[in-house]
Structure 1
Amino acid sequence: MKNISWDNYKIAYQVAIDGSLSQAGKSLNINHATVLRRINQLETALEVKLFFRHQRGYKLTDAGAILLAELPSLITRFSKLEHQLQNVESKISGELRISTISSYSSQLAPALKAFRDIYPAIRITLLSTDDIVPLESGAAHVSLRVGPKPNGTDLIVKQLTRFKTSYYASAEYVKAFGLPTTDSTLNDHHWILPTPDKYRIPFVRHIVDNIDKDRIVFQSSHFPDVSQAVIEGMGIGPIGEHQAQRYPSLVQVTLNSPESEEAMWFVYHKDSKHSARVKCFYEFLLKRLESLTALETR
């Protein structure tokens, strides 16, 4: 078996995706010359051409097309192997990759800081996205998801907590404009709402269906932006009740909109069931949520 660097395969794969040495170099954060040298090394070792070189970039040969088709599954398997090997650690250390929805990631920062205070050898990578990160790929060890219970034959799913979202206005706004009393008075107010891709959410849909669109003075696809606009007094908008409790000047607005209670789930792949990092992170989050709930009920 020829002694070929695994990195050379990954570099060739990036060139196949990007179509040029310079773009692949940017994607991999290495220089153009290094990419060229590694491609030449790989083709020499394999005794086969992977690319046709021409003015428009690098095009795949038949062998290159096989590389492009087969390498993603190999990368996933190597990531899984790395993950399994790391799971046998006795010391709580190493990287912990966490995916969560973008609207929650900023609120997670205090908890992550407290977690690292307890386990300083942990290195955290946070993937903030509204897309579902496939845990079997190894891209994340843990996913914190909101909404219906996730399903998947290879997933382990545990409920962390439930939280509600209500409509709020700042005391400054209420002093200037008052509060809506019925659906017929909703058009008398300024509204802070998420962008139309979130209109399917029932408690958002109710407001959108009962107001003129020009009453929406601020929109964002990012819920923390919506919350901040409400806190600043721009209008009435949705904020999670757990977050609103941090701002005593906010006034909860009673509306006829549907209930908006959702569950947060702690999700990980079955290959991580023996991971000390995942286990400790789950137990830490549970204890932290329990302590926060106890404080709120005092």
Structure 2
Amino acid sequence: MDKWTELRTAYHVAKLGTVSAAAETLGLHRATVNRHIDVLEADIGGKIFIRHARGYTLTEIGHDVLRVAQKAEELIEDLAGRVQGGKTQIEGEIKLTILAPFARLLMGAIAEFRSENPQCRVDIDVGEDLARLEYGEAHIALRAGRKPEHPDYVVSKFGNVGFNIYAHNRYIARHGMPADPGDMAGHRFVLPMAPESRSPFASWIKENVKPDMIALSCRDLWAMEEAVFAGIGIGFVGDQLARGRGDLHAVLPPNGDWAVPGWIVTHVDLHRTEKVQAMLKYIKSNSPPELMV
């Protein structure tokens, strides 16, 4: 197959969603874009797109084409940057997918990266699912828990994210602090929904918190933190965040079982690209000392 031009065109249609947007970005006529797609589909022997009134949607084959095209474009752009030699700034975009507790730990790294590379936009997706790096859904993923074992992923340790249950000054003023780990009766809690999930403190919740002790439950970590800050109840907060505030107080002694290992994950095909290596350097250099392993 010798259809790199057509592949690049299809990639931009998939990325931007319409032929018009792709034509404008590539400096081509709409008819040329349509012809490139027709040629590529004929060469592959299957449909890449489902055409509808609002634009173009990828077929299953199209997703595979997009994955190949995106990697090719990333690698070509990286090669061009290296060949230029004198080029000192990275351009385009770099995509990160992270868990909420990592957000505050990364902002210093992102600020330094942007200072050195103001032409490169940083896109962050916060969620619990590990992005499919092989499909270009992210350049770098930060995940916690079990080490990802995909054969095409490059995985390195980021550090441990510790948690405890904390009470805000507002809560303490109204309800006081538990006298000891067994003194939870009469207190109210802010907890994640579905405590039987993957959280390391799920068993503690099950053993110590009755349903009528829950003041608020939520799926979103940031919303839970805001509820703790408002004094609605005692709740789980990352130790790193709590140490940066003067109004939160740990309810229990430190618990190593609640320290979740963090992982930096990249795809082997893009791991050595200049863009990914630059961001990795800042992420690792900005990791707080207490998180380093």
What TM-score bracket applies, with the shorter chain setting the length?
0.7 to 0.9
> Is 1:74 aligned with 2:74?
no
Aligned partner (choices 216, 227, 230) of residue 229 of structure 1: 227
The whole-number CA distance in structure 1 between the counterparts of 2:281 and 2:11 is 37
> Is 1:293 aligned with 2:284?
no
The whole-number CA distance in structure 2 between the counterparts of 1:72 and 1:251 is 49
> CA 1:242–1:5 in 2, change beyond 3 Å: closer, same or farther?
same
The whole-number CA distance in structure 2 between the counterparts of 1:183 and 1:29 is 62
Structure 2 residues not aligned, in runs of 5+: 22-29, 83-87
* Contact kept? 2:106, 2:283, Cα under 8 Å: no
Give the superposition deviation at 1:193.
0.6
Q: Deviations over 1:212-235 (max 9, x none)?
A: 212111111111111121112111
* Contact kept? 2:89, 2:116, Cα under 8 Å: no
Give the superposition deviation at 1:182.
5.0
* Contact kept? 2:95, 2:139, Cα under 8 Å: yes
The whole-number CA distance in structure 2 between the counterparts of 1:222 and 1:135 is 24
Give 2:129's aligned residue. Answer: 131
1:68-217 → structure 2 map (5 Å cutoff): 68-88=59-79, 89-90=81-82, 91-94=88-91, 95-105=93-103, 108-181=106-179, 185-196=183-194, 199-217=197-215
The whole-number CA distance in structure 2 between the counterparts of 1:69 and 1:230 is 44
* Contact kept? 2:200, 2:260, Cα under 8 Å: no
> CA 1:164–1:106 in 2, change beyond 3 Å: closer, same or farther?
closer
> Is 1:283 aligned with 2:281?
yes
Equivalent position amino acid for 1:293 in 2: P
Aligned partner (choices 258, 261, 268) of residue 259 of structure 2: 261
RMSD between superposed Cα atoms in Å? 3.8
Give the superposition deviation at 1:145.
1.1
Q: Normalization by structure 1: what TM-score?
A: 0.73
SS of residue paired to 1:271: coil
SS of residue paired to 1:160: strand
Q: Deviations over 1:66-98 (max 9, x none)?
A: x83422211111111112212322344122111
> CA 1:45–1:71 in 2, change beyond 3 Å: closer, same or farther?
closer
> CA 1:92–1:212 in 2, change beyond 3 Å: closer, same or farther?
same
Q: Which has the larger radius of gyration?
A: 1
Greater fraction of residues in helix: 1
The whole-number CA distance in structure 2 between the counterparts of 1:275 and 1:5 is 24
Q: Deviations over 1:168-190 (max 9, x none)?
A: 00122123212224565323101
The whole-number CA distance in structure 1 between the counterparts of 2:11 and 2:38 is 15
> CA 1:273–1:172 in 2, change beyond 3 Å: closer, same or farther?
closer
1:8-23 → structure 2 map (5 Å cutoff): none
Give 2:25's aligned residue. Answer: none
Give the superposition deviation at 1:210.
2.4
Give the superposition deviation at 1:102.
4.0
Structure 1 residues not aligned, in runs of 5+: 15-24, 32-36, 51-56, 59-66
Percent identity, aligned pairs only, is 21
> CA 1:29–1:236 in 2, change beyond 3 Å: closer, same or farther?
farther
The whole-number CA distance in structure 2 between the counterparts of 1:43 and 1:170 is 60
Q: Number of matched residues?
A: 263
